[in-house]
Structure 1
Amino acid sequence: MMSWKVKSFTELSTHELYEILQVRTEVFVVEQECPYLEVDGKDLHAHHLYKEENGEVAAYARLLPAGVSYKEPSIGRVLVKEKYRGRGFASELVKRGLAFIHDEWGEQKVKIQAQEYLREFYGSFGFKAITETYLEDGIPHIDMILQDHTN
């Protein structure tokens, strides 16, 4: 059984929240060998977009409204659990995240902090680099902006 969900922090059950934090830690802290503060307080203000498959979180993104990370809304913590990669979930995740930001929040601009190796992936959605590559927690990153995602 597969389904996409988007929920505010207060709509998440404790089980859903646990699953989300577990998979985020699995990918961003353990798999990428990057110790950092994964639970950063922004989840309280976010909408959480995720795909469940076989009772577990297979793909996830955190949607942050304007004023939380940047003056623009943002998509972050984008991940696909390792065993679900290669199925197009990441593209679907970004498309759904952008649609939510446009349709629910009425926002056109979206700013992200992306790992440098994903520059072309995000570029395929219209994101443009606005910084040089820099290190964040030892990993090369770049800030990118999408001016208008209505097309």
Structure 2
Amino acid sequence: MEIEVKNFEELSSKELYKALQLRSEVFVVEQDCVYQDIDGKDERALHVMGWENDILVAYTRCFQAGDYFDEASIGRILVRENYRKLGYGHEITKASIEAVKTKYKADTIKISAQIYLVIFYESHGFKTFGDRYLEDGIPHIAMVRA
């Protein structure tokens, strides 16, 4: 997988389309979750994209402190369904952590994690805090990596 990191202005219309399409495919269709994915925050985000040839197979978006949470953050973390179990989730997460450190000079990163992925994120140094909560009908918990 080849990873690219771009701010919104650097994205081609084709790259933006593929990112929005994949996010919709995973978060809206696969997870059967009706929510507003295009939330007006993409323009402030750093987009981390994992490509296999011309196929977007993994994606995240990252924010500097204050743009989403008080801390820098990573969200919309996903891997295309038929590319899971190849380690791409770990690769895109590592690349996103590095992008936040490099671009935003931030060591503290917050995420809103789906409960079933807590062990995955713990393997990347995140720790849970606070109570579980529902986000778009799915159980989540806040996690921080410091």
Pairwise TM-score range, normalised by the shorter structure: over 0.9
- How many aligned residue pairs are there? 146
User: 2:96 maps to what in 1?
Assistant: 97
- Please state how far the C-alpha of 1:73 moved relative to its aligned partner: 0.7
User: 1:19 maps to what in 2?
Assistant: 18
Which structure 2 segments of 5+ residues have no match?
Answer: none
- Please state how far the C-alpha of 1:103 moved relative to its aligned partner: 2.0
What is the Cα-based RMSD across aligned positions, in Å? 0.9
User: 2:133 maps to what in 1?
Assistant: 134
Which structure 1 segments of 5+ residues have no match?
Answer: none
Structure 1, residues 97-118: CA drift from partner, whole Å, max 9, x if none?
1111112221110010010111
Q: For residue 130 of structure 2, give the secondary structure of its aligned residue in structure 1.
A: coil
State the distance in 1 between where 2:45 and 2:51 align: 18
TM-score normalised by the chain length of structure 2: 0.97
State the distance in 1 between where 2:3 and 2:115 align: 27
State the distance in 1 between where 2:95 and 2:25 align: 23
User: 1:119 maps to what in 2?
Assistant: 118
State the distance in 1 between where 2:56 and 2:82 align: 11
State the distance in 1 between where 2:8 and 2:68 align: 16
State the distance in 2 between where 1:21 and 1:130 align: 30
What are the residue-to-residue correspondences of 1:35-54 with 2, within 5 Å? 35-54=34-53
Runs of 4+ displaced beyond 3 Å: none
